Each structure stands twice: as structure tokens, then as C-alpha cells.
């Protein structure tokens, strides 16, 4: 008998797929892949893109319980959490969410998610282009690759400490070729970058198909 599960993707504009006019972002690629597999006879995995541009983990902990309560599959849920690129940013001289609060927020979000899901994936922050590393951009935000590494260490540590948590290292996949995989803004992936993210994630979602 076929199962029907939900996959819920929480994150910021990179989860949403901003600047990808070709594929609609990596989550949309996965949605199409899962639907194709279902038509070929696999279990049904319905994916929800819950990314919000500009969001930090402060927004995540306010909405995650409501979002999951509204989308709760009888056969189980899988949760993907991709935050940090906005949290680590400095704006008007202040870090939007400092490392200690970021860690607390991720822990809180994971605890809320575990009420609905056994499998939770923490997604690493991508590296930034050298063009914007340490530079105040048009949005008024300043980001550095050193901080991306620091926040990724926090995510990896949390993933190692709790059963049922998994860490997906997009950062390592982008690091060597980041200038080719990021859009002109130096923060968001381009179409090729989003495609790489989807390729990394396809084996993950195949476990549930």
C-alpha cells in the first residue's frame, strides 16, 4: 500500500528559489521529481516550499508549529530547515541574530518540529562570493564567509547531538566553484547552483519514495 508523506522546507529566499527564472529553485526541482516518481509507482511525497525571503530563525520559531499543524501527513513528515544567511548578517552595526541566539532558535525549532516529524534535516549556509564577502550590499547587509563557517559549525554540532537529525553540507559543494554557482548578487545561487543543490537532495528524498 502506498504511503503519503509531507516534506516541509523552511528557510529564507534561497529555499524559496529567488533569482531562478529557469527552474524556480531547488525545492521546485525536487517537487517535480517527487511527482514524476509517484506517477511511476513510488510512494507519494508532497513537498511544501515554506521559504520566506529575508527571514531569520526568529521568524521560524514563531511560525513553525502553525505551519506544521496545518500540514501533517498521517504517514509521516520530513522537515528541512535552512537558515543562517540572514541571521549572521550585520545591518546598521548589529548582527541580526547572534550565534548564541541562533543556536537557541535552531534548538527550539527542532523541538517544535519533532512533535510532527521523526526526520529533520539541517541545511548548511552557502558560501558568499568574494565580491560581497565583508561588503555592505544594497540591502544594507554585510556578510562574511568566516561567519558562514561559524554558523555552519553550530548547525553541524546540533545535528550530531540529536537522534533523527541530519546535516546537509551545501557549503562544501559550493566552496570550490562558488563564483560559478552564485548569482550576480553573490549570495543566492544561479540556475546551475540551484541545480547542484537539487542533485544533492535527490538521494535524500528518494529514501521516502
> Could you tell me the pLDDT band of residue 182, with boundaries at 50, 70 and 90?
very high
Q: What is the pLDDT of residues 6-28, one digit of tens each?
A: 999 999 999 999 999 889 999 99
pLDDT digits (tens, 9 = 90+) for 79-119: 999 999 999 999 999 999 999 999 999 999 999 999 999 89
CA-CA-CA-CA dihedral for 4, 26, 82, 155, to nearest 10:
100
User: What totals of helices (H) and strands (E) does the chain contain, helices first?
Assistant: 8, 8
pLDDT of residue 34: 98
What pTM did the predictor assign? 0.97
pLDDT at 164: 85
Q: What is the pLDDT of residue 1?
A: 87
Residue whose cell numbers read 541566539: 101
Given this model, what pLDDT does residue 36 score? 97
Amino acid at each position: 500500500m502506498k504511503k503519503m508523506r509531507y516534506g516541509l522546507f523552511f528557510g529564507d529566499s534561497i529555499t524559496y528559489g529567488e533569482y531562478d527564472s529557469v527552474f524556480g529553485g531547488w525545492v521546485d526541482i525536487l517537487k517535480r521529481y517527487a511527482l514524476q516518481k509517484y506517477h511511476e509507482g513510488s510512494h507519494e511525497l508532497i513537498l511544501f516550499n515554506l521559504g520566506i525571503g529575508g527571514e531569520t530563525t526568529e521568524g521560524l520559531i514563531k511560525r513553525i508549529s502553525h505551519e506544521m499543524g496545518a500540514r501533517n501527513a498521517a504517514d509521516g513528515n520530513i522537515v528541512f530547515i535552512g537558515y543562517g544567511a540572514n541571521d549572521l548578517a550585520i545591518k546598521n552595526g548589529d548582527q541580526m541574530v547572534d550565534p548564541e541566539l541562533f543556536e537557541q532558535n535552531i534548538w527550539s525549532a527542532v523541538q517544535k518540529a519533532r512533535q510532527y516529524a521523526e526526520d529533520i534535516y539541517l541545511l548548511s549556509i552557502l558560501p558568499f562570493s568574494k565580491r560581497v564577502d565583508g561588503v555592505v550590499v544594497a540591502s544594507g547587509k554585510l556578510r562574511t564567509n568566516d561567519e558562514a563557517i561559524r554558523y555552519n559549525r553550530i548547525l553541524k554540532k546540533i545535528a550530531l547531538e540529536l537522534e533523527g537529525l541530519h546535516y546537509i553540507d551545501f557549503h562544501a559543494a559550493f566552496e570550490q566553484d562558488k563564483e560559478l554557482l552564485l548569482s550576480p548578487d553573490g549570495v543566492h545561487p544561479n540556475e546551475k547552483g540551484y541545480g547542484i543543490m537539487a542533485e544533492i537532495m535527490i538521494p535524500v528524498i528518494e529514501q521516502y519514495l
